[in-house]
Structure 1
């Protein structure tokens, strides 16, 4: 599932991570899995043949194959940008399933082994069989730099393209992405065509979601996980200890048994609030960087507004709204990118892309 090839020995976590790949289900397997129970019931002559044809026709009308089949793609890379919590990983996986791609992580904290809750790594279930690269392979104390990232990301991209699949780079570390794309000698730009999708959520809505997510992380074991990183003499400026959720817990762990239960509970509450506030500050910084990138030459950033999906996040129709406002518009952008030639890349204007979702907007407003 997760790949981390060619890492220098001093960066690899111990014990070594063993990669595993689970390939997406092909259309033929999808058909077979759905018609097998049917074939068990009908196994005779013309009646079986006729009914089988009807079953296959019905299957494709109701559930088309989930993998898109664009013309042969060469040297094309998709980037998913966005503030923390906006659904970058989810969108990357959606696109990877649809276009037979693989995801390359560009979050500078998720490259490290450990702290899966605090760094919000995707789970194996969430990966849905999509291979992921550059997740969890670096020793927690290592100094993994933008230079290291560029080397590993380039190797992963080359490997993915060599297998005829689509590389999808997703993560919140925009400085890593900028360093990769706009390298000193312009090698990346000369070798690859780039598609930049910015998944955005209105900040008040996003901050409400972030607050809820931190509370869920606490319920999942954030405090206990942070305790494994606690060191009275530790340095919070290096390695995985830079993650939001580690240094904020320091005062709580130092309190130990020196304060009573009520006072310690108050310290814990303050630490959790600090995590929320620092995460919200991070969203501001990421947003500012994305807006700056979108003004640079060669950065054709296409904004997809997923705000309504987050407003509906507690509703049974939340996944449907996500599909309408985020997944489907992004698929249109990527399909057009894959079908285009380098000298004739013409995307829809952002406002037109957002307008495609407006048929659902009135209903969403009633739920907000």
Structure 2
């Protein structure tokens, strides 16, 4: 028998956290964070991490399990989520995964088989040096010659993914596109995907308001603290909410410009999230607005009750 998992997805600021609490209370569930940045301690405001009072005593998993200078990959996330699903199911509760990191959620729930190639720091460093000396176009052109299918999926400026694809090819002799075609298309779980969507202008207004609240709650002080601890060059600090504040902290950019960049990048990220989920998964979508949360959440809970009876 496959274990049943509820996955709540959708763009940032749409209301996923609020819905997850309502579902957890109704169906005796525990919540797994599906946000790749909420694993980091001290990165609370910029990741919109749920506060303890908001949890309503419902256990939450995969929050605050790493330091900002520790690496955390989709493969790590997959292993952690699957362990959580097992442990939550073992005590007779329902696992709910909630978040907006699409690749991570897909990796965990569809048992994505990552390349067996471990990172080779020597190869990575050599490719990084080539990028610094010859530019990303040089590496991207090489990838396009080796694996044109994968190159089409990667933006030419996304040097991390370009370098990783080249690294895997050098270590294994296999193209990344070839490895991806071998992935599992059927989930080992009975997954009920619930998607929340909102009219774009409303969503963008909510995102802008969320950023203003983050600023009022102390986002600049949070980023400054991490910066002063020496975390500036860490991958975690490339996250939206952190990278935009660093130029201001360094005195290289006006505060208003940094805030506007954060709002713009958050809106763009929301658009990418929505597109990704629309194209990748079979999701039951529910359209909401700030005035219909109660009505729509009631319908979702009723729909879930019927779906869970069928499982």
Sort the TM-score into its range (normalised by shorter chain).
Answer: 0.7 to 0.9
Q: Which residue in 1 is equivalent to 2:212?
A: 215
Alignment counterpart, residue 272 of structure 2, candidates 278, 282, 285? 285
Please report how far the alpha carbon of residue 240 of structure 1 lies from its aligned counterpart in structure 2 after TM superposition. 2.3
- 1:252 matched to 2:248? The reply is yes
- In structure 1, runs of 5+ residues without a counterpart are 1-72, 257-263, 313-320, 342-368
- Give the TM-score, by structure 1 length: 0.62
CA distance, structure 1, for counterparts of residue 186 and residue 270 of structure 2: 28
Q: Which runs of 4+ in 1 moved over 4 A?
A: 184-190, 231-236
Please report how far the alpha carbon of residue 146 of structure 1 lies from its aligned counterpart in structure 2 after TM superposition. 0.4
CA distance, structure 1, for counterparts of residue 18 and residue 256 of structure 2: 30
> Does the CA-based 8 Å contact 1:229-1:246 persist in structure 2?
no
Write the mapping of 1:93-132 to structure 2, written as runs, cut at 5 A: 93-132=21-60
Alignment counterpart, residue 286 of structure 2, candidates 298, 304, 320? 304
- 1:240 matched to 2:210? The reply is no
Please report how far the alpha carbon of residue 242 of structure 1 lies from its aligned counterpart in structure 2 after TM superposition. 2.1
Q: Computing the radius of gyration over CA atoms, which structure comes out larger, 1 or 2? A: 1
> Does the CA-based 8 Å contact 2:24-2:30 persist in structure 1?
yes
Alignment counterpart, residue 195 of structure 1, candidates 186, 192, 212? 192
CA distance, structure 1, for counterparts of residue 229 and residue 66 of structure 2: 23
> CA, structure 1 residues 184+132, in 2 after alignment: closer, same or farther (shift >3 Å)?
closer
CA distance, structure 1, for counterparts of residue 270 and residue 187 of structure 2: 31
- Give the TM-score, by structure 2 length: 0.73
Please report how far the alpha carbon of residue 140 of structure 1 lies from its aligned counterpart in structure 2 after TM superposition. 0.8
Q: Over residues 233-287 of structure 1, what are the superposed CA-to-partner deviations in whole Å (9 max), with x where a residue is unaligned?
A: 8655x4321221212122212228xxxxxxx7xx001101111000001001101
Please report how far the alpha carbon of residue 232 of structure 1 lies from its aligned counterpart in structure 2 after TM superposition. 11
Q: Over residues 79-103 of structure 1, what are the superposed CA-to-partner deviations in whole Å (9 max), with x where a residue is unaligned?
A: 0010000111111111000100000
Q: Which residue in 1 is equivalent to 2:304?
A: 334
- In structure 2, runs of 5+ residues without a counterpart are 114-182
> Does the CA-based 8 Å contact 1:304-1:329 persist in structure 2?
no
CA distance, structure 2, for counterparts of residue 75 and residue 303 of structure 1: 22
> CA, structure 1 residues 323+232, in 2 after alignment: closer, same or farther (shift >3 Å)?
closer
> CA, structure 1 residues 118+181, in 2 after alignment: closer, same or farther (shift >3 Å)?
same
CA distance, structure 1, for counterparts of residue 244 and residue 43 of structure 2: 14
Alignment counterpart, residue 322 of structure 1, candidates 293, 297, 300? 293
- 1:171 matched to 2:112? The reply is no
> CA, structure 1 residues 99+118, in 2 after alignment: closer, same or farther (shift >3 Å)?
same
CA distance, structure 1, for counterparts of residue 231 and residue 89 of structure 2: 41
Q: Which has the higher contact order (CA 8 A, sep 6+)?
A: 2
Please report how far the alpha carbon of residue 293 of structure 1 lies from its aligned counterpart in structure 2 after TM superposition. 1.6
Please report how far the alpha carbon of residue 228 of structure 1 lies from its aligned counterpart in structure 2 after TM superposition. 1.2
- 1:76 matched to 2:4? The reply is yes
CA distance, structure 2, for counterparts of residue 329 and residue 195 of structure 1: 15
| Alignment length (residue pairs) | 242
